[in-house]
């Protein structure tokens, strides 16, 4: 797939989505808009992906068992869907956004909640992160649930219409508009795709012949990660090379979801000799402005992972990205301890919802 983006098409789609935010005027404060709109975009995208998966799986089953009735086919596909070794995620209910909207509107909230509660845990974690269940109650109170569902129930956000790269562009464009509406700097959230592509190209990542991990330590919407993988797929000259990209490339954006925690979380990523991430764990949870951490806790899991290096990170709930004197001291202690046990400290990253600070990039390692 080419990395070129059809900007007019994507900007028009972003404009259509933005209209739903305008419907919230007078009912929600400007900074609350994204809490309503961003989750429904994600839910609709996931729904489109799941519907496409069901259709493909139905055709696959029908080819093997052509005499199955529609009811039998639907049952077989649902059984496959609920097996997460077969599907990336699932929904155990009969609902879609369209079906929820077209049913009795006196049951709209109940049916919509049943729908989102029916997703598998990996999707439920996303919904929970948005705190969307509480937002639904506010939408109902302000008579906004039906209009929002009506707009999104048919919106074409499927993988056949939008690649992961294009979906990322849409999501970041909407996020940028919300940021500007709230009086924030768009650059705090949005990195233009052209800049990301240039950065990825400068990395000169080869087509892999063994496992490769691509890691974004301050992952926001995943733009860096999605562009990196799309770039490799675009460069793959043969089906075998494309298969290698799909098989061997793993992207990681593990820590950014801790950015909005009200307490400091200290995390440690174990790295092997091939610079692959073995594991990421929360080492300790502290207060709003500090977290206790000792080298023995940091290196205990790294030793059990047989790691050759680690990257540590912690969030700053106070908002500042500048390292404190304690942060600098802890980094020095970990670096010294690592040299003793033979596990190198590669970087210490401080992050919040607006960005990150790297000790390595700032010459403090």
- Structural contact between residues 311 and 360, judged by C-beta atoms closer than 8 angstroms: no
Highest averaged pLDDT of the listed ranges 174-183, 188-197, 336-345: 336-345
- Among 263, 44, 8, CA closest to 148: 44
Render pLDDT for 206-235 as a digit per residue (tens, 0 to 9).
Answer: 888 887 767 665 565 566 777 778 778 888
Query: What are the beta bridge partners of residue 285?
Result: 265
Give residue limits of the domains in the chain: 7-180, 191-252, 256-358
Query: How large is the average pLDDT for residues 81-88?
Result: 84
Pair type for strands 265-271 and 277-285: antiparallel
pLDDT at 334: 93
Handedness of CA 330, 331, 332, 334 (dihedral sign): positive
Residue 186 confidence (pLDDT): 45
**Which is more confident, 113 or 175?**
113
Q: What percent of the chain has pLDDT over 70?
A: 88
Residues 99-108 have pLDDT tens digits of 999 999 999 9
- pLDDT in the model for residue 48: 94
pLDDT at 258: 72
Encode burial over 172-206: b for 16+ CB neighbours within 10 A, e otherwise.
Answer: bbbbbbbbeeeeeeeeebbeebeebbeebeeeebe
Q: Which strands, in side-by-side order, build the sheet including 277-285?
A: 277-285, 265-271, 309-315, 344-352, 355-358
- On the question of pLDDT at 20 being above 50, the answer is yes
As a whole number, mean pLDDT of residues 338-358 equals 86
Token pair of 16 as six digits = 């259509």
DSSP strand pairing (212-215 vs 249-252): parallel
Q: In Å, how far are 3, 182, 200, 226, 230 from 233, measured between CA atoms?
A: 10, 37, 13, 11, 5
Please write the tens of the pLDDT for every residue from 119-140. 998 888 888 878 899 999 999 9
Could you tell me the pTM of the whole model? 0.60
148 pLDDT exceeds 80?
yes
CB neighbourhood size of 120 (10 A): 16
Question: Parallel, antiparallel, or unpaired: how do β-strands 277-285 and 249-252 relate?
Answer: unpaired
What is the pLDDT of the chain when averaged over all its residues? 83
113 or 242: which leads in pLDDT: 113
Confidence of residue 6 (pLDDT cuts 50, 70, 90): confident
Q: How confident is the model at residue 169 (pLDDT cuts 50, 70, 90)?
A: confident
Q: Cα–Cα distance between 233 and 224 in angstroms, integer?
A: 14
Q: Given this model, what pLDDT does residue 21 score? A: 83
Residue with the bigger pLDDT between 277 and 309: it is: 309
Residue 105 contacts by C-beta under 8 Å, 6 or more apart in sequence?
A: 146
**Torsion angle of alpha carbons 19, 189, 8, 35, nearest 10°?**
-20
pLDDT in the model for residue 364: 86
Q: For the chain, what percent of residues have pLDDT higher than 90? A: 30
Q: Which residues contact 246 (CB under 8 A, 6 or more apart)?
A: 233
For domain 256-358, is the CATH number 3.40.50.11060? Answer: no
**166-180 mean pLDDT:** 78
Q: Is 272 exposed, middle or buried (0-12, 13-18, 19+ CB in 10 A)?
A: middle
Q: What is the pLDDT of residue 187?
A: 46
């Amino acid at each position: 797939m080419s990395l070129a983006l059809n900007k007019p098409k994507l900007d028009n789609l972003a404009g259509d989505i933005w209209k739903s935010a305008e419907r919230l005027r007078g009912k929600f404060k400007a900074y609350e808009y994204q809490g309503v709109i961003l989750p429904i975009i994600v839910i609709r995208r996931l729904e489109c992906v799941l519907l496409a998966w069901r259709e493909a799986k139905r055709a696959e089953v029908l080819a093997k068992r052509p005499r199955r009735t529609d009811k039998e086919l639907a049952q077989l596909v649902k059984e496959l869907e609920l097996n997460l070794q077969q599907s990336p995620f699932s929904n155990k209910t009969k609902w879609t956004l369209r079906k929820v909207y077209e049913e009795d509107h006196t049951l709209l909230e109940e049916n919509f909640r049943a729908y989102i509660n029916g997703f598998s845990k990996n999707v439920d974690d996303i919904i929970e992160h948005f705190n969307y269940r509480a937002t639904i109650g506010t939408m109902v109170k302000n008579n906004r649930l039906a209009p929002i569902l009506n707009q999104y129930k048919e919106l074409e956000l499927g993988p056949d219409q939008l690649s992961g790269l294009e979906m990322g562009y849409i999501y970041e464009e909407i996020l940028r508009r919300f940021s500007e509406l709230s009086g924030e700097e768009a650059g705090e959230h949005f990195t233009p795709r052209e800049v990301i592509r240039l950065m990825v190209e400068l990395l000169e990542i080869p087509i892999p012949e063994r496992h490769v991990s691509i890691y974004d330590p301050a992952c926001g919407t995943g733009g860096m990660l999605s562009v990196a993988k799309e770039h490799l797929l675009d460069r793959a000259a043969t089906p075998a090379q494309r298969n290698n990209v799909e098989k061997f490339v793993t992207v990681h954006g593990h820590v950014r979801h801790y950015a909005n925690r009200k307490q400091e979380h200290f995390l440690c990523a174990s790295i092997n000799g091939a610079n692959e991430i073995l594991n990421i764990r929360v080492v300790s949870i502290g207060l709003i402005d500090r977290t206790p951490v000792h080298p023995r806790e940091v290196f205990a899991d790294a030793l059990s992972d047989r790691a050759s290096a680690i990257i540590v990170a912690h969030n700053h709930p106070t908002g500042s990205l500048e390292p404190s004197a304690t942060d600098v001291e802890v980094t020095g202690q970990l670096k010294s301890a690592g040299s003793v046990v033979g596990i190198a400290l590669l970087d210490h990253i401080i992050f919040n919802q607006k960005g990150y600070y790297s000790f390595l990039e700032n010459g403090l390692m």
